[in-house]
Structures are given as C-alpha cells and as structure tokens.
Amino acid sequence: MLALGLIVLVGAALRITWNDVTVYGTDESEYVSTACALSADPTRYGALVRGFVATPETWGLPLPTRWGGVALTTVACVIAPCTPRTLAWLETLAGIAAIGLTYAVARALLGVMPALLAAGFTVTSPIQLGMGRRALEDELFAVAVLLAMWCTLRLVPKGGSRGDSFLIVVAALAAYTFAFAVKETFILYYPALAALLLFARGSRHPRLGDIAVFALAPVLYAGVLGLLTGDPLLVQAVPRIDQAVRASPYVLQYQSGPLYEPFVDVYVLAPLVTLAAFAAGAAAARRSGTTENGVGALVAFGVLLLAAYALMPKDARYFIPADATARMLAAWCVFLFGPVRRELAVATVGIALLNGLVELPIFSAVFLRGEVYDPVLANLLRPLGMTP
C-alpha cells in the first residue's frame, strides 16, 4: 500500500538521520563485548553464560541468557564491524520495522484507516526515536512483542476457518519463543496477550492451539538455552539474578516508583497520544455488544500491560509496547470522535503532523539536547524543565 510505504519511508528517514550517537553507556559496551567475543568464536557462548551466572558482580549487566538478542547482535558483528554503531543500526532497523508491525496489528484489530494513523503516530514517537539510536535492545524487544501480538491475532478464526491451523500455531510459538529469548520479562505479557486473544475472538474459552503456544514457548526458550550452554537447568538462575538486580542501589534509587508511574512516563513523552488513548478506553468501556471486539481486545491488552508494568522496574524504555498500544488506541479515538471519519485520508496526515509538532520537540529536548541515555522519570523531567 502506497500510504503505508510513505509513512514507513518518513519514519525510516527520521530514524536514520538521528542514528548519530557517539558516546555509549556501560550496558551498550557489554552488548558489544559479548557480540564481538561470539562473532569470533560462537562456541564460547556456554562458557560465557556460565561464567556470568557464577559471578554475582556482573549481574547488573545485560543477561547473556537472552540468546535471541545475542544471536542477532553476533550475526550483525559478523556482517559489519563489531562496534556500538553496528548494534545501534540494528535498533534503528528494529524501530523502522515497528512502524510496519504497528500497522499490521492495528489493521487486524481496528481496520485500515486507524492502522495507517497509528503507523503515522509511531513515526514521531519520542521513546522509539530515542531508543532506536542506542546500542541497547529495547526496540528489538518492542518488535518481538508486536510480532507476538500479530501472531496471537492470527489464531483468531477468519470467516469459516478454524484459526488454529498447524502453521499458525507454529508461527505464534516461534514468535513467543523469540520474545522470551530477547527478554525473559516477556512472561509478564502473558495475561495481556491472553486477553488480546480471547477478546478478539469474542470467546473466553482457550483452544488447544492457544494452550500449546502459551505453555510451550517458555519451555522452548529454556530448552534452547540449556542446549547452548550445556546446562539444562541453567534457566533457574534467571529469576535469582533478576531479583538481585532489582535490589541494586541504581534500581532502588532511579527505577522505583508508584504503581501508576508507567502511565506518567508514557504521558510525559506522548501527552496527546496518551490522552486520546485513555479517551478511547473510556469510550470502548461504554459501548455495548460485541461489534467492537478489536477495540475491546486492545483496551484489555493495554490495561493488563500497565498492570504488568507495576511489577517491573520503572523505566520508560521498558514501556515501548505500551507506547505502541497507546498509538493504536489514539488512532481509533480520532476516527470515533473526530470529523476525519468521513473525510479524505489527507485529513489523517494533518492529525499525524499535528501530533508530530508536539512530540518531536519533546524528543529533541530529552534525547538530543538532553542526551538522555536511560529514560527513567527523573531523566525525562529534567531536560523538559519539569523539575524544581
């Protein structure tokens, strides 16, 4: 579709233009170090992971047990020079892919025009633009979650089909396993994904294919990790390391906060989109019947996502999937309340541009002029002049 192609082209141009970071942080250096070591000798992976688990002093660094991200960064370092720039390019490409995946998920739930507007909103997302220029793996994880959402919706029957054909189940299982392999915190997305599936289907009863996807994905992640490291029980160390990291001074000081802080993080970076998303949620809650299964599914997903984030360290870069969800709901809100519903598509371009006029200055203040590396709330408020 020409319109989607133009939207992705604009989003790609912005992300490529601003992929210009020159000073990288400790976590980014660790990602590069791991990728460099494994690109030279992939057989070192098992020893590297076992050494990491056996050394508590290293637990504050990115977990090498995330073999999905490790594999991609290693391949990137085989193809290109093993530098932070190469890994930053991987995130830039993931950010471009996120635009298309946001459209695909929104189209499955809301229809073509809201999906195009959601993609247009994604072009100027401050948090996605900001993380798409770093050598971290937050945009990659956002892509993994969006891919899992899309594959989940493929399990919903279309027309007379059953919706759980073998190939669809395998694709969803692969997407879920990959998401686990990028970040083990994907387990916290399970309630939201289950709600997305059951509400979109208009049924509260899981099917055999659903159970297979949800049950087997963590088993496959753990199985591959055990196979690669030579220790089938090594996955048991992941929760222990995660708990130790949560008790670290940095997390306690900068990534702790009230249960509602994820909403604040999303709102600070995307005020118009966040308000429109909440308006969409309120409107969906007032609508009766089952004619709005897609909207209801997206609202349920968003609500349970925010509930899951209450259990996670508070950091805006962890909430990119919520940002993507908010952009889909905001697009639906525009077509529900605004005059655009019966107007030409050019009106939606104006709305996306208006939102961009709000969001691009926020991105510039926080990530360009403020040079924020870790977007915890304190680091977001300071460059925006919102602290005393």
**Is the residue at 386 inside a domain?**
no
Rounded Cα–Cα distance for residues 155 and 178 (Å): 18
**Is the residue at 28 inside a domain?**
yes
Closest CA to 321 of 331, 311, 332, 308: 308
Q: Quick one: pLDDT at residue 247?
A: 87
Q: Is the pLDDT of residue 81 over 80?
A: yes
**Is the residue at 339 inside a domain?**
yes
pLDDT class of 257 with cuts at 50, 70, 90? confident
pLDDT class of 345 with cuts at 50, 70, 90? low
Rounded Cα–Cα distance for residues 27 and 73 (Å): 14
Q: Quick one: pLDDT at residue 386?
A: 85
Q: Quick one: pLDDT at residue 206?
A: 85
**Is the residue at 4 inside a domain?**
no
What is the count of structural domains for the chain?
A: 1
Q: Quick one: pLDDT at residue 339?
A: 57
Average pLDDT over residues 345-353: 80
Task: Report DSSP letters for 53-82, one per residue.
Answer: HT-GGGTTSPPTT-HHHHHHHHHHHHHS-S
Average pLDDT over residues 276-281: 93
Average pLDDT over residues 180-202: 94
Q: Quick one: pLDDT at residue 291?
A: 43
What percent of the chain is predicted at pLDDT more than 70? 94
Q: Which residue has the higher pLDDT, 179 or 253?
A: 179
| Mean predicted lDDT score pLDDT of the chain | 91
Q: Quick one: pLDDT at residue 203?
A: 73
Q: Which tokens hold the place of 350?
A: 């104006």
Q: Quick one: pLDDT at residue 338?
A: 59
Q: Quick one: pLDDT at residue 349?
A: 81
How big is the chain, counted in residues? 388
**Is the residue at 2 inside a domain?**
no
Listed range (62-76, 233-247, 335-349) with the worst mean pLDDT: 335-349
Average pLDDT over residues 313-338: 91
Average pLDDT over residues 111-118: 93
Q: Quick one: pLDDT at residue 118?
A: 96
Listed range (200-214, 276-290, 305-319) with the worst mean pLDDT: 276-290
Rounded Cα–Cα distance for residues 216 and 196 (Å): 19
Q: Quick one: pLDDT at residue 149?
A: 98
Q: What type of residue is 376?
A: V
Listed range (91-105, 248-262, 301-315, 356-370) with the worst mean pLDDT: 248-262
**Is the residue at 174 inside a domain?**
yes
Rounded Cα–Cα distance for residues 301 and 308 (Å): 10
**Is the residue at 56 inside a domain?**
yes
**Is the residue at 1 inside a domain?**
no
H/E segment holding residue 190: helix 190-201
pTM: 0.95
Q: Is the pLDDT of residue 346 over 80?
A: no
Q: Quick one: pLDDT at residue 289?
A: 45
Q: Is the pLDDT of residue 21 over 60?
A: yes
Output Rg (C-alpha) for the chain, integer angstroms. 20
Burial class (CB in 10 A: 0-12, 13-18, 19+), 41: exposed
Q: What type of residue is 372?
A: V
Domain enclosing residue 332, as ranges: 9-381
pLDDT class of 366 with cuts at 50, 70, 90? very high
Q: Which residue has the higher pLDDT, 224 or 250?
A: 224
Interval 132-187: pLDDT, tens: 999 999 999 999 999 999 999 999 877 545 556 889 999 999 999 999 999 999 99
Average pLDDT over residues 200-212: 86
Q: Quick one: pLDDT at residue 342?
A: 53
Q: How far apart are the first and last CA of the chain?
A: 48
Q: Is the pLDDT of residue 336 over 90?
A: no
